Every structure is written in structure tokens, then in C-alpha cells.
Amino acid sequence: MIRPTFTLTRRVEFHETDAAGLMHFSNYYRWMEVCEHEWFRALGLESMTVGADGHARGWPRRESSCTHLRPLRCGDVVRICATIEEAGAAFLAYGFVFEKDRAGRWTEVAHGRMTTIHVRKDAAARMEAEPMPDSVRAALAPA
């Protein structure tokens, strides 16, 4: 089975590091979200919308995890490869692999997972899961 994938390349910035000079762990989660949003943009999709009914829709996180294998430092060039691991009626489960450019050779430094739920927020700001739009399912369908 062919799985849809997306790749984003970034450089670790000084403000993303901690006192030890390593990329702070929280930034791996930020980068996963940035990768997801850039993927949606590349497909012409929006991660947050307001429907014809006036209710906001979006993709809050149900769970996320990240395993750190090697450190990243300021200036390191990193490739984040995202894959749709599972797609249900109202959720997407992403897998992420972080790779560092080491003299022209990509080496895995971390991997993560994030599950998002497509929700509709009602007038009282309560969120309820609802099926993901057909446009999202079609855009993410394997080639």
C-alpha cells in the first residue's frame, strides 16, 4: 500500500535551543504541527475553517509522542518526513521522522506520532467529532 507523505526541511534556530545548546524537546511537537499545516497548505486545504452553518471546524490533538534518538543543535539542518499511518472517519494518525543532515547523509534523530480528530465547535464552544471533509480525504488519498 502506498502511503501519502510530505517532507519539510528546517534549520534549528538559536531560540529553539535550551541552556545546554540542544533543541528543546517541545520544539519537536511544534515542528510536527508545522509540518502538518504546511502539508495541508501544499494540498490547498485549510486546517481551520468556518462552515456554512457558522461553526468552526479544526483538528485538535488526541495524542502525541516523540522519541529522541540523537540531539539537535543550533544551525543543524533537519528534514521532517510525515506519513499518514491511519485514517478513520474523523481522525488522522501521522508518523514523523526527523533526520539530520550529516555531511550530505541523512541520519534519523527522532520519530514521533500525532493523532488529530476533525471536530465541529458549537455555539457553546463544545467540540464534537465529525467526519473529515471529503476534500481532505481525497487530497490525502494515495496516488
By mean pLDDT, which of 14-23, 50-59, 62-71 is the weakest?
50-59
Q: Please give the Cα distance from 8 to 38 (Å, whole number).
A: 8
Q: What is the pLDDT of residues 75-99, one digit of tens each?
A: 999 999 999 999 999 999 999 999 9
Q: Identify whether the C-beta of residue 28 lies closer than 8 Å to the C-beta of residue 112.
A: yes
Q: Which CATH class is domain 5-140?
A: alpha beta
Which pTM was predicted?
0.91
Cβ neighbours, 10 Å, residue 24: 15
pLDDT given for residue 1 in this prediction: 47
Alpha-carbon torsion angle 30, 7, 89, 116, nearest 10 = -10
Could you state, in order of their start, the residue ranges of all structural domains in the chain? 5-140
The amino acid present at 121, given as its one-letter code, is K
Query: CB neighbours of 76 closer than 8 A, spacing ≥ 6?
Result: 11, 12, 23, 100, 101
